[in-house]
Homo-oligomer: A and B are copies of this chain.
Amino acid sequence: MSDFQVNILGCGSATPSPLRNTSAQVIDYRRRLMMIDCGEGAQSAMRRMGLQFSRLTHIFISHMHGDHCLGLPGLLSTLALHGKEGTITVVLPESGLRIMKEITDYFCREPQLEIIFQPVGGNGGIVADLPSMSVEAFPLYHRIETYGYIFREKPKQRHLKGDMVNFYNVPVAMRPLLKEGADFVTEDGRTIENRLLTTDPDPSRSYAYCSDTMFDERVAKAVNGVDLLYHEATYGHSLVSNAHERGHSTALEAARIASLANAGNLMIGHYSKRYTDVTPLVREAQTVFPKVIAAHDGLKIDLEKL
């Protein structure tokens, strides 16, 4: 298994249906799990997908509509009852802080789990700075205060060329500096350029989550260059007026954002219940942007294999 995976727990809109749960995803990054949105049933979907509660450290909530956050009280309650210790950080829009705190104060009283609420406001910004990854919030354009989230691996270390490192007798203590890109100065004062001693690091991957939102070019700017963009596509473009009225996007609009952002791949989801088969939405998006993945509940995507 690779380092960076996205798990789709639910990709339906509005209310759960037999075909699709409401919104929830889990990023699996180097044994750490981070949830994005938490519709009702997210905790059951985690179990079905074999994602262990003990590894969950963060939950990022996009907005305070029930289909994106009503699974949170039950999940936190379960974490506490399962004896999870330490802290869990819940990042959520400022406007949802008061009610979510009240709910968890009431329902999640197990003392060994500390729930840290971290509100996001304004234009967002970095909301989690982890050892090898940063998470950034940015505004989306929905009916209420809503944020998207980008998960970016930090730059990785360069690879040492074993033969060259031996040839120049680089001391072991110096090698970590070479991996960071430093040149090497030999005992007799010669500078050996880093590029002779190392090869490029593995690429750093990035994933952006945009749901719920209307089509807005500022979103493309915010997610510029991500390897995988999840963008809601609640409707097909024949229903573009429904989309605009309700603060949602069409599959075509999702593809336009992916194209404007020079994204590597687009994943669509948050489908209206009217679409049992989403092939027409995928085809519509592909008229603008070729690399389209259709989200479905239970899907695991390996960012390193895209």
A interface, CB within 8 angstroms of B: 14-18, 40-41, 43-44, 47-48, 64-67, 70-71, 73-74, 77-78, 81-82, 99, 102-103, 106-108
Contacts and interface: CB of A to CB of B under 8 A. Distances in A.
A65 B78 CA distance: 12
Contact of A99 (B44, B71, B102): B102
Nearest to A107: B66
A77 B15 contact: yes
Given A102-B102, A106-B99, A44 B16 contact: yes
Given A18-B48, A77-B15, A40 B71 contact: yes
Contacts of A77: 15, 66-67, 70
Contacts of A64: 106-107
Nearest to A75: B40
Contacts of A47: 17-18
A77 B99 CA distance: 16
Nearest to A108: B66
A65 B18 CA distance: 26
A65 B110 CA distance: 12
A209 B40 CA distance: 25
Nearest to A105: B99
Contacts of A73: 66, 70
A77 B81 CA distance: 26
A70 B81 CA distance: 15
A176 B78 CA distance: 55
Contacts of A74: 15-16, 40, 66, 70-71
Contacts of A81: 14-15
A74 to B, nearest CB: 4
B43 A82 contact: no
A141 to B, nearest CB: 20
Nearest to A41: B41
Nearest to A79: B15
A41 B15 CA distance: 11
Contact of A41 (B44, B48, B102): B44
Contacts of A18: 44, 47-48
Nearest to A18: B47
Nearest to A73: B70
A107 B67 CA distance: 10
Contacts of A102: 99, 102
Nearest to A65: B107
A97 to B, nearest CB: 12
A14 B74 CA distance: 10
Given A40-B41, A40-B74, 17 more contacts: A15-B43, A15-B82, A16-B43, A16-B44, A16-B74, A16-B78, A18-B44, A41-B44, A65-B107, A66-B73, A66-B74, A70-B73, A70-B74, A70-B77, A70-B107, A99-B102, A99-B103
A74 B71 CA distance: 9
Would you list the 5 A-B pairs with minimal beta carbon distance, nearest first? Answer: A40-B74, A15-B78, A66-B77, A66-B107, A70-B74
